Amino acid sequence: MPEPFDAFRIGFAMNTDSLLSMTGIDKRFAGIPALSGASFAVGRGEVHALIGQNGAGKSTLIKVLTGYYKRDAGEVVFDGKPFEVSSPQQAQASGISTIYQEINLVPYRSITENICLGREARRYGLLDWKRMHQEAEALLRRFNVRADVRRPLLEFNTATQQMVAIARAIGFSAKLVIMDEPTSSLDEREVAVLFNVIRQLKQEGVSVVFVSHKLDELYEVCDRVTIMRDGRTVKTAAMNEIDKIGLVSAMLGRAIERAEGHATAFSDRDEKKIGKVLLSAENLAINQIVQDVSFSVRSGEIAGFAGLLGAGRTETARLVFGIDRPRAGTMTFNGHNFNPHKPSDAIAAGMGFCTEDRKSEGIVPDMSVAENMMLALMPKLSKSGVIDEKAQRDIVERFIRQLGIKCSGPDQKVRELSGGNQQKVLLGRWLAMNPRLLILDEPTRGIDIGAKGEIQALIKTLADQGLAVLMISSELEEVIEGADRVFVLREGISVAEFDRDDATEDAVMSAMAHGSAPTIAEAAA
């Protein structure tokens, strides 16, 4: 007698349309969960979108699937069989090809090698270059790319390199091709070519997992969508059953109806304290990531950048700070033309930049709190090369007090502090420079709830004292409640600007999703 449970199993097995099913996937890094109980299923010949905010777990999920990471728990069934791989090589051999987010190719080697490495054509046991060159050319022809496949990859532009990556993945006659943000470096024409290839693959019965932050693209080419948040799968739906607002709110985890109450420590600010325009930027552009961004920040104002991942927020901040140089556009700072060539220009003008990635770009973990705080100030504090210890100690102790940094003293190593206190040390580093504008990229990411409130309150206090703040945050409530003005970026274009009173969740999310700013009336309706 079959038990009820067996019936379920039989029903599952009969679903022959399923190519891949991942269930209950857990993955932890140093005890911190990156995936908890995530699930994902792809049908045969289906183009399936996988979306989520930064840190939602998409990339981890993909790397678990391709054997780059080993999962801690969960089940994977691929092509009707349990799937256990321990390396990308094995995954490839079983029919899963991946195009990773950063183009993962070898720049010094030829296009042919980049396409054929790992499955080389041979004759008499040696490589058959002639056949490999022909194969590479034939694969690229599918994308309308004509290039000398014998030349090293680094001689070609990013779009061609991306096409080479895709050609490589497809060349493995895969059953499943995973594309992690394949369009981020392509122009419209190239994207159209890529979509044709995806449709072609679909007709051949190949499944495609498509990771992208450009919502329009999903509707153009995908059949279904799976949305992840905080390491979990929150929703799977057919593309024609979910609208863009639905996608955005599922990604951000906000019910559209929800509104009242403060989720952050930004209490209402006194707007009288806002002064004159300090920084203004017009039509900044550098590449596809930043196409046309205009915004301004006034003294004593918190200006917020909202937008999905890949909207160009961090990239815009890098332009302002002189890390990258814009291709077009103008900036003024304090009423003068501002054209920074390098970060020290921006620092000299009175700017500070707390980057998104504290660990790799900010703190020096083995140095003390005092040393970390003084790094940027060192040149100013030293008299003919010798550091003025007394002045240094005074400043450090003042900031430890003012910012409420919990540490045993100025000599404690920064690595021993919590995330929130590390962030405060970084804030202290820039504040010690006495800046007029502070750029904060994801100031509360990876910081526990309590410390988050402290940092937010601190930002508010600093603005009240006249500091101009440009705050980038992926947390909607942080931008909406914290910023005096919200600029919404979408696919490299600043599409909307809201004053504090107009910046409702509906309005901001709708601008993030659709691009066109809804009229105030629409938002109010």
Partner 1 sequence: MTRQRLISMLGSYGVVLALLLLVLFGWARYDYFLGFFNITSVLRYNSMFALVALGMCFVIMTGGIDLSVGSTAALGSVVAALASPQGALVGLGAGVGAGLCVGLINAILVTRLKIMPFVATLAMMLAASGTALLLADNQSVSVSYESGFTSIGQDNFLGFPIPAWIAIVAYVVGWIVLNFTSTGRGVLAVGGNEDATRLMGLPADRIKFLVYFASGGLAGLAGVILASQFGAGQPIEGVGWELFAIAAVVVGGTLLTGGVGSVGATLAGVLLLGILFNVLNFENGKGWISLSAYWQSVIRGLFLLVVVILQAKLSSRGSVAVRDY
Asked if 377 and 428 touch (Cβ cutoff 8 Å), the reply is: no
Q: Could you say which of 22, 41, 91, 176 contacts partner 1 (CB under 8 A)?
A: 91
The answer to whether 93 contacts partner 1 (rule: CB under 8 A) is yes
Taking residues 136 to 175 in sequence order and writing x for each that binds partner 1 by CB under 8 A, - otherwise, the string is ----------------x-xx-xx---------x-------
Task: Tell me whether residue 27 or residue 514 sits nearer to partner 1 (CB atom).
Answer: 27
Asked if 26 and 33 touch (Cβ cutoff 8 Å), the reply is: yes
CA dist., res. 470 & res. 485, Å (int)? 10
Task: Tell me whether residue 125 or residue 261 sits nearer to partner 1 (CB atom).
Answer: 125
CB of 103 to partner 1, least distance (A): 8
Taking CB under 8 A as the binding criterion, the range among 12-20, 88-96, 342-350, 433-441 that sits at the site for partner 1 is 88-96
Footprint on residues 48-87 left by partner 1 (CB under 8 A): 68, 87
- How many chain residues interact with partner 1 (CB under 8 A)? 31
CA dist., res. 522 & res. 525, Å (int)? 5
CB of 401 to partner 1, least distance (A): 42
Task: Tell me whether residue 98 or residue 299 sits nearer to partner 1 (CB atom).
Answer: 98
Closest among 56, 69, 75, 76 to 27, alpha carbons compared = 69
CA dist., res. 247 & res. 225, Å (int)? 9
Question: β-strands 232-238, 224-229: how paired?
Answer: antiparallel
Task: Tell me whether residue 13 or residue 154 sits nearer to partner 1 (CB atom).
Answer: 154
Task: Tell me whether residue 312 or residue 482 sits nearer to partner 1 (CB atom).
Answer: 312
Footprint on residues 175-214 left by partner 1 (CB under 8 A): 185
What's the gap between Cα 73 and its chain centre? 26
CB of 208 to partner 1, least distance (A): 18
CA dist., res. 75 & res. 79, Å (int)? 13
CB of 305 to partner 1, least distance (A): 23
Task: Tell me whether residue 126 or residue 386 sits nearer to partner 1 (CB atom).
Answer: 126
SS in 3 state form for 399-436?
HHHHHCCCCCCCCCEHHHCCHHHHHHHHHHHHHCCCCC
- 75: which strand partners? 23
Footprint on residues 96-135 left by partner 1 (CB under 8 A): 98, 100, 104-109, 113, 117-118, 120, 126-127, 129
CB of 117 to partner 1, least distance (A): 6
Burial class (CB in 10 A: 0-12, 13-18, 19+), 488: buried
Q: Could you say which of 52, 55, 57, 88 contacts partner 1 (CB under 8 A)?
A: 88
Contacts of 455 (CB under 8 A, 6+ apart): 420, 423, 424, 427, 443, 444, 447
Footprint on residues 281-310 left by partner 1 (CB under 8 A): 287
CA dist., res. 298 & res. 404, Å (int)? 27
From start to end of 9-54, where are the E strands?
A: 18-29, 32-43, 47-52
Task: Tell me whether residue 185 or residue 412 sits nearer to partner 1 (CB atom).
Answer: 185
- 337: which strand partners? 332
Task: Tell me whether residue 184 or residue 249 sits nearer to partner 1 (CB atom).
Answer: 184
Q: Applying CB under 8 A, which residues contact partner 1?
A: 68, 87-93, 98, 100, 104-109, 113, 117-118, 120, 126-127, 129, 152, 154-155, 157-158, 168, 185, 287
